[in-house]
Structure 1
Amino acid sequence: MAYEVTATKQRPKTFDELAGQDFVAATLKSSIETGRIAHAYLFSGPRGCGKTSAARILARSLNCEKGPTVNPCGECPSCREIAKGSNLDIIEIDGASNNSVDSVRQIKDEVIFPPHGGKKKIYIIDEVHMLSNSAFNALLKTIEEPPEYIVFIFATTEVHKVPATIRSRCQQFNFRLIPIETIQKILKETCTKMGIEAEDEALFWIAKESTGSLRDAYTLFDQVASFSEGHIRSQLIRDKLGLVGLDKLNALAETCAANDTAGAFALLDGLLDSGVAIEQFVIDLAGYYRSLLLLKNGVTRESLLGYGPDRFSVPVREKLDSAQLEQALSLLLGLYRDIRYSVSPRFELETVLSKLCWLDRWVSPLELRAAIVGARNILEQGGGGGIAGPLSGPGLKEAPQIRTSP
């Protein structure tokens, strides 16, 4: 039997299986139950969050022999043909490769014919924003007053490129990024179905790297599973993909907090020699200081921190305040932007690492202003260096106001 990627194998088949899109699923189910079926829908949102899957579920619900129903049987000929992509009444079109007026004219010529065997004839146009302006104009009349058996479902990742004249003729549904916890739970269930053992930390990393896209999560899951030999472990992921673990980040941050520049350079050299890419190292270190900043401000949610709060170095958390952590994060983000144009990315990284080693002595603009204002107040009150009166006179000016960043 041919191998099937997990994203295809685990594609949702009912509205209840549509992860992270509760509002969309509830609204479409209510529309089907009450018989309020629109003639055109516009699904928009980030990649891999379920737009095409929702379109196919809606098509299956409308054309199921027991339908329209919110729970298609999956066993009738119509449901099976839709699952295989062979149903003649469900026409899926790629807007990127069929973006001309001629393609739309073909649709206009076809809509006059009723469905072959189903109740509805459904056009699913993916990446609809790729259609040309002329093609959109040719669609206007068709999607405004189509035959009663026609349903259009448009999907796009860039809804702002769809003309307002098209959007106004469609019921619009905005799909959201899927939460990390939801993706991690789905991956855990997938592992159980496939008989794969997986550490929670490893699945969390996959969910975090997918940035809210379940399809991206499945793709990364397949890659990791291919070299994990049935047991997905976080250590194996770090070794194979060149990532920096939390233990090493803690050790490096503690060395920097101790003002040990030589020790920090030695640790950096060992990490880079182990095969860690400079860009990946900067990303991981920036994420580490971000997590410390969140912790400093009372955020303990594991899905935001990446790890449990108790796993981050206590000495570093105690030694650096919020302003210093903000400065560390600013240095690393600036470094990531600069290294692509640098003569030597490693030199840039070593310079920033050296700055991190004296971070506890860095003074923020707010602290500097407070110190200047305090010194001025002391001088004006006659308490500094024998000055007996307020700071005034023809040869003296008022201290300048210092502007600080918010």
Structure 2
Amino acid sequence: MSYEVTATRRRPQQFGDLVGQEFVAETLKNSIKSGKIAHAYLFSGPRGCGKTSTARILAKALNCQNGPTDQPCGTCSTCQEITKGTSLDVIEIDGASNTSVENIRQIKDEVLFPPSNSKYKIYIIDEVHMLSTSAFNALLKTIEEPPPYVIFIFATTELQKVPATIKSRCQQFNFRLVAVDKVKQCLADAAAELGIQADDEALFWIARESTGSMRDAYTLFDQVVAFSDGHITYEKIRDKLGLVGIDRLNTVFEACAQNKTADVIGLLDEFLQAGVSIEQLISNSADYLRSLLLIKNGVKKESLLGNSAERYSSVVLGAWNTVQIERALSLFLQLYRDIRYSLSPRYELELAFSRLCWLGSYVSNAEVKKAIDAAQGLLMGNSVVECPQSGRIETTAVHSNVQSAAVVSTSSTTVSAETSQPQQTQPTPAGMNPIPAGMPRLSMLDELIAKEQAGISDDDTGAPGSPGGSGEGDNSNPFHNGGPLPPEQSVAAAQNSQNVQAENAHPAELDERLKLNIPLNEVSDDGQSMPVVDIPLTDAAFTENPDAEEGDDGWSNMDAPPDDDYYPVEADFSERAEEAYEAAEASANQNGYSPAPVQLQDTLTLANGQTISIAQLRGQVTANLSVTDGFAASNIEKTGLWVVDADCVSTTVETDYDLSLIEKKKDVIVAELSNACGRPMRFNVTLKSEETQAASAPVKIPEQVNILVNAFKGTIVAGRM
């Protein structure tokens, strides 16, 4: 006997043999039992799910010598003829090759004659959607009122192309894709019939590749059997068909999770050199990431994953969270669409895997939004709580004895500023999250959380008194009091309570200097209090000069400046320069910066023979630059002691940042310095010696700032604590 493919050999012969189509089988069996047989049926569904086989089983059930019966014998002459396709009363027509009206006219002529040796004359038209519109119209009357011995069975894979007039005259049955588990069981039975040993993992792969089509599964099964030598394994399928495989995918994705870009590129080259196509590698990677996403969400069903959950790398599952795996999966789905129009598909593939190497640093927009909302509340001294009903983030003050001072509301936050006494808090218990309430659990903070819970500081010493240490009085939560209070709250707390610790209190004189005492005497239309400021005006409606000693001089910004002594003559040069330097020094001291003392007794002789002090020279250069280039003038104010040696002025600055700013304005400063001295001068600025910097007390950055910097992968630049 000649060889017969598995799809033909295992074609269903009874309604009970239909796989995954229980609804169709039960409905047809019940209709036959009750004698309610329709004159037209329409079977629709994807390829390889049993439409044509069901039509033949229905034909045998109606024409069997023991029938009509729901269980045809399969041994009588009629059943055997239908199975072989030689029955004169069961006519199978290919709709794709018989699309014209002439073919339908032939059917209309044949239905006038009764069946030769059967009960029914049955027409099975496969791919009926391929008929032309004229052919469909010619068939309408025939299928609406056929002779009682004629039955039409239509099969199609594209139901939407069948006219509604045809659908309304037929009983419709929608066939479904077959589940992976059922396909795998059918393949196992087929292997047992052939005496072939097959691993479950290999059968699962064949079942998943068939995408629910039994015919596709049997066809691929025959191909695998041909090169398996009696034993079907996943390794043989992987090597022969050019697949990547779960083990290789674990290796390359572990390298991505560990940020080993060079190893990833090397593995990709090995896969491509071994004959794996780029499209196949992308497809396998997308399947792998989908399985990881399902496992992350608690899905362990083997038929969905394609392998057991234990086969997937625990390193990758631990390194990436759900959001990051979703990002990786969307990256590969988009990659498969892009390679069709790419300059080089291999470049696209390498770029995608290179991006996976820094996937651990990816933060979604939702996480950034939560972090910003939490940081806003923490920096304002409030605790952050997320409302489960509305999804809004609300921040409220963490103090007792509340006296509300102001409330600011936005679409996403509600911030309450209150005047109250700070509340004493207890250290964070062991095992609890040291990140404050409201701060989202970002993957980049997991290491910090572990250190805090283990009582280990950033330098891994864990000494008592260090951040995260276990010394007495140590608070492992850096946000134990919600952060510093605004100035008004600090002053009120210092006046109302004497039990506040010294390190949490703000100097009263600093708070008083920051307060603005503006009387609120008027109320606007929207109910807000507005400050009343009395601005004197002249007769010409110009504002008076509040600094004038002898009344208004009548000058405004719309007129030319008056001829007065505002610009001093050359005789007042030294006095004006010294006053400008003293004013700059006072302003610097007020801003918290103390420049090195300037030796005023040192002098410098100008080109015109005039002798001035170094302080006067510095003041003159600063005053002139404040008019032409304010940034250069502010940079000079940050310099230390000026030392003049011949035609060179040398000085120092405190930080590298100040040095870089002065280097950008060095040409402007040298030009003004040369103009003031009347001869070419040089300006040399160096960084203050490390010994001097080491002598100064180091400034400790608050732990709250460190946590926020780690959360957003940022740095602190250009600032003094």
Shorter chain as denominator, the TM-score bin is over 0.9
What letter matches 2:106 in structure 1?
Answer: Q
Equivalent residue for 1:249?
249
Matched residues in 2 for 1:143 and 1:277: separation? 50
What letter matches 2:35 in structure 1?
Answer: G
Equivalent residue for 1:218?
218
What letter matches 2:362 in structure 1?
Answer: W
What letter matches 2:51 in structure 1?
Answer: K
Matched residues in 1 for 2:315 and 2:488: separation? 45
Matched residues in 1 for 2:488 and 2:82: separation? 89
Equivalent residue for 1:50?
50
Q: Does residue 375 of structure 2 align to residue 375 of structure 1?
A: yes
Q: Does residue 232 of structure 2 align to residue 232 of structure 1?
A: yes
Deviation at 1:2, TM superposition (A): 2.3
Which gives a bigger RCO, structure 1 or 2 (Cα 8 Å, sep 6+)? 1
Equivalent residue for 1:342?
342
Show the 5 A alignment for 1:315-394.
Answer: 315-381=315-381
Equivalent residue for 1:15?
15
Is this contact kept in 2: 1:196–1:231, CA < 8 A? yes
Deviation at 1:375, TM superposition (A): 2.8
Deviation at 1:193, TM superposition (A): 0.8
What letter matches 1:285 in structure 2?
Answer: S
Deviation at 1:385, TM superposition (A): 8.9
What letter matches 1:361 in structure 2?
Answer: S
Equivalent residue for 2:287?
287
Equivalent residue for 2:134?
134
SS in structure 1 at match of 2:43: strand
Equivalent residue for 1:160?
160
Is this contact kept in 2: 1:122–1:151, CA < 8 A? yes
Is this contact kept in 2: 1:380–1:389, CA < 8 A? no
CA distance 1:181–1:388, shift in 2 (3 Å): farther
What letter matches 1:287 in structure 2?
Answer: D
SS in structure 2 at match of 1:154: strand
Matched residues in 2 for 1:123 and 1:20: separation? 25
CA distance 1:117–1:267, shift in 2 (3 Å): same
What letter matches 2:90 in structure 1?
Answer: I
RMSD: 1.5
What letter matches 1:177 in structure 2?
Answer: L
Q: Deviations over 1:212-261 (max 9, x none)?
A: 00001111111111111222111110001000111111111111111111
Is this contact kept in 1: 2:381–2:484, CA < 8 A? no
Deviation at 1:48, TM superposition (A): 0.4
SS in structure 2 at match of 1:223: helix
Equivalent residue for 1:90?
90
CA distance 1:227–1:39, shift in 2 (3 Å): same
Deviation at 1:376, TM superposition (A): 3.0
Deviation at 1:283, TM superposition (A): 0.6
CA distance 1:142–1:230, shift in 2 (3 Å): same
SS in structure 1 at match of 2:122: strand
Deviation at 1:310, TM superposition (A): 1.2
Deviation at 1:342, TM superposition (A): 1.0
Deviation at 1:380, TM superposition (A): 4.8
Show the 5 A alignment for 1:154-233.
Answer: 154-233=154-233
Matched residues in 2 for 1:166 and 1:245: separation? 47
Matched residues in 2 for 1:23 and 1:153: separation? 17
Is this contact kept in 2: 1:99–1:135, CA < 8 A? yes
Structure 1 stretch displaced more, 312-321 or 112-121: 312-321
Deviation at 1:272, TM superposition (A): 1.4
Q: Deviations over 1:307-332 (max 9, x none)?
A: 11111111211121110000000111
What letter matches 1:221 in structure 2?
Answer: F
Matched residues in 2 for 1:332 and 1:110: separation? 56
Deviation at 1:378, TM superposition (A): 3.7
SS in structure 1 at match of 2:125: strand
Is this contact kept in 2: 1:32–1:70, CA < 8 A? yes
Matched residues in 2 for 1:103 and 1:226: separation? 42
SS in structure 2 at match of 1:66: coil
Is this contact kept in 1: 2:381–2:485, CA < 8 A? no
SS in structure 1 at match of 2:176: coil
Is this contact kept in 1: 2:92–2:125, CA < 8 A? yes
Equivalent residue for 1:398?
none
Show the 5 A alignment for 1:32-47.
Answer: 32-47=32-47
What letter matches 1:170 in structure 2?
Answer: C
What letter matches 2:186 in structure 1?
Answer: I
Matched residues in 1 for 2:95 and 2:484: separation? 78
Is this contact kept in 2: 1:381–1:389, CA < 8 A? no
Equivalent residue for 1:305?
305
CA distance 1:273–1:113, shift in 2 (3 Å): same
Is this contact kept in 2: 1:33–1:70, CA < 8 A? yes
Is this contact kept in 2: 1:379–1:387, CA < 8 A? no
Structure 1's consecutive aligned runs of 4 or more residues displaced over 6 angstroms after TM superposition are 382-387
Matched residues in 2 for 1:31 and 1:166: separation? 21
Matched residues in 2 for 1:134 and 1:338: separation? 42
Structure (1/2) with the larger strand percentage: 2
Deviation at 1:372, TM superposition (A): 2.1
Which ranges of structure 2 fall in alignment gaps of 5 or more residues?
383-481, 490-721
Equivalent residue for 2:684?
none
Structure (1/2) with the larger helix percentage: 1
Matched residues in 2 for 1:33 and 1:126: separation? 26
Is this contact kept in 1: 2:59–2:122, CA < 8 A? yes
Is this contact kept in 1: 2:41–2:171, CA < 8 A? yes
Deviation at 1:129, TM superposition (A): 0.6
Deviation at 1:389, TM superposition (A): 8.3
What letter matches 2:237 in structure 1?
Answer: I
Equivalent residue for 2:634?
none
Equivalent residue for 1:76?
76
What letter matches 1:88 in structure 2?
Answer: L
Equivalent residue for 2:27?
27
CA distance 1:68–1:197, shift in 2 (3 Å): same
Percent pairwise identity: 63
Q: Does residue 92 of structure 2 align to residue 63 of structure 1?
A: no
